Chain A
């Protein structure tokens, strides 16, 4: 194996780790702290460490030792992936890229002192901070539901034990039972996600409980890839999915987890398993650091820097940035722009124009994949869409299969782009 920059960096980082805290050495290495080890944070940490040739000390704070991707978690529910296949560790980022991976919760930011407080005690100083905390739920957005009692009606919108729980509850449904879903209002993580989930639940039920029904209460009149999903549901799962939109009271919903009931516009429906996806907001630390305007954290498109604090960059679902959907692909794309901008600010590396892209693949049934995507550019006002495409209804089976296979290739691509 030839010595490339990565293995060189890994070796030098291992050496400095043995000498413990780098600041003891008296070196003025710039310090970047990244909060959140998902598609935004892990990517940003890896790109800064990879491209700065050791000039920047990178610390990644992430509570989970194993990260389960939200993208493809629906495929686990449908039976197309096993759970382990959507799990990833931070071992490569630590060992090969020299990133200090701290498994803890970041509980607050002191913007004047430029430190991040940890739940386990202590504070980490930074020159630049990157926040990629994902989403939290708006309490009270679905009356009767609360995070404290999330296990009776799982959200399964942060992948992990919630996803496993939801799948187990679907598998335990009685014959001919009802799966309920409360879909979220805009804007929310992964616009096609709830509808891919409906497809995957339908696929699972068709195998194990073919007379079961799916009842969806949806506050939105329209949703992502709607024509494609509805065509697929009619084709693959005829009569199984009933979606109640706002014209029939789909926005007027209450849940009763103890009784396993959902009340849609006053009508009580008994459900045997229920997925509640509440309204969403930026991960809590953004608001606590005073970086939000409403539910989301506004950013400067050219650099992903917070509009409130030029030393803090914010990525992914938590941001208010313009036209990009909240997706892992978007967060990964934004992370590279932020990494470039942070390196340019802290070292003498070059500043390049920001470019963004997103593609969201969804699986409707076996070998029936669809996608939607767009490219974006930074304007002073927002990240603005420049071009886009979407799969068409009526596409032939070969193209749909190729699209699905492409999504598997993308999964391997983005996860190695995030975790090395």
Chain B
């Protein structure tokens, strides 16, 4: 990932689970005009602005401050409705996490978009979106340079080689609720996930970006090595 290359490996970054968004630090406030250009990636499914309607995806007017899955006249996926019910609200921080890797924040979302790797591009898109929100009260006035727009897990954490045997033992704590055959009624499936998605999702719970008290508690006490071990196991639980 190119944004990792620019990351300052400072002591502070090591101290935090999630290193500082140094890629964003190098930039000015997200540029809504560049965001308008990037919007082309979104407009196949989403409308925004006066008269915008729901299409393949929901319209994005007033997205800031809205609860996930909250438009009455749009048919959201079950996982998106569940995340909304659990309390996920769209803010600069959560939107940034979502458009970076939609399925890492909302597992099973129907938004078939791989995500935008570049933190600066995400800031631009969000600067564009925020112009269509009436109520920017919860959007900090400061430039995104001062905000944690980058929820990337430290590459050193992502690089940890998980111990799948330890992961198998730890997984027994997960399978009390998450079925080992991948059934997903009421509780999402967690098998066959790419390891990185798993690690990012668990760290998003650990950081309490993703709402859900059980998962925040479970993730909160797992070490980086334990999360890697679980990711290694669940990536291929039949091995």
Chain A residues in contact with chain B, CB under 8 A?
2, 4-5, 47, 51, 329, 332-333, 336, 340, 350, 352, 355, 357, 359, 371, 373-375, 377, 386-389, 398-399, 401-402, 405-410, 412-414, 416-417
For A5, the chain B residues whose CB sits under 8 A away are: 238
Report which of B85, B221, B238 forms a contact with A398, defined as CB distance below 8 A. B85
Q: Residue of A at shortest CB range from B226? A: A355
Main secondary structure on B side of the interface with A = helix
What would be 20 A-B contacts, judged by CB atoms less than 8 Å apart?
Answer: A51-B168, A332-B176, A333-B173, A352-B166, A355-B170, A386-B221, A388-B217, A389-B213, A402-B86, A406-B177, A406-B186, A409-B187, A410-B176, A410-B177, A412-B179, A413-B175, A413-B187, A417-B172, A417-B176, A417-B180
Which of A47, A340, A359 lies in contact with B214, CB distance below 8 A? Answer: A359
How close is A147's CB to chain B, nearest CB, in angstroms?
Answer: 31
Decide if B134 is an interface residue (CB 8 Å cutoff): no
Residues of B within 8 A of A357 (CB): 173, 176, 217-218
* SS class, residues of chain A in contact with chain B: helix
Closest beta carbon of chain A to B194's beta carbon, Å: 20
**B69 and chain A: residue at smallest CB distance:** A398
Q: Shortest CB–CB separation between residue A390 and chain B, in angstroms?
A: 8
Contact of A416 among B180, B184, B221, B238 (CB under 8 A): B180
Contacts of B168 in A (CB 8 A): 51
Interface string of B193-229 (1 = CB under 8 A from A): 0000000000000000000011011101100000000
**B10 lies within 8 A of chain A by Cβ:** no
Q: Are A4 and B238 in contact (CB under 8 A)?
A: yes
Contact indicator A406/B187 (Cβ below 8 Å) = yes
* B141 located at the interface, meaning its Cβ lies under 8 Å from any Cβ of chain A in the complex: no
Q: Are A409 and B177 touching (Cβ within 8 A)? A: yes
> A6 to nearest B CB, angstroms?
9
Binding site for A on B (CB under 8 A): 81-82, 84-87, 165-166, 168-170, 172-173, 175-181, 183-187, 213-214, 216-218, 220-221, 238
Contact A389 B178 (CB under 8 A): no
Distance of A316 Cα from B31 Cα, bound (Å) = 58
Q: Which residue of chain A has the shortest Cβ distance to B70 in the bound complex?
A: A398
| Distance in angstroms between the alpha carbons of A358 and B170 in the assembled complex | 15
A386 to chain B, nearest CB (A): 6
B221 touches A373 (CB 8 A): no
A399→B181 contact, CB < 8 A: no
- Residues of chain B with a CB closer than 8 A to A406's CB: 177, 186-187
Known: A352-B166, A398-B84. A408 touches B185 (CB 8 A): yes
B217: chain A residues at CB < 8 Å are 357, 373-375, 387-389
Residues on B with beta carbons closer than 8 Å to the beta carbon of A387? 217, 220-221
A333 touches B176 (CB 8 A): yes
Q: Please, how many angstroms separate the alpha-carbon atoms of A65 and B86 in the complex?
A: 39
Closest 10 CB pairs between A and B? A409-B186, A409-B187, A402-B85, A389-B213, A336-B172, A398-B85, A405-B186, A413-B177, A408-B186, A352-B169
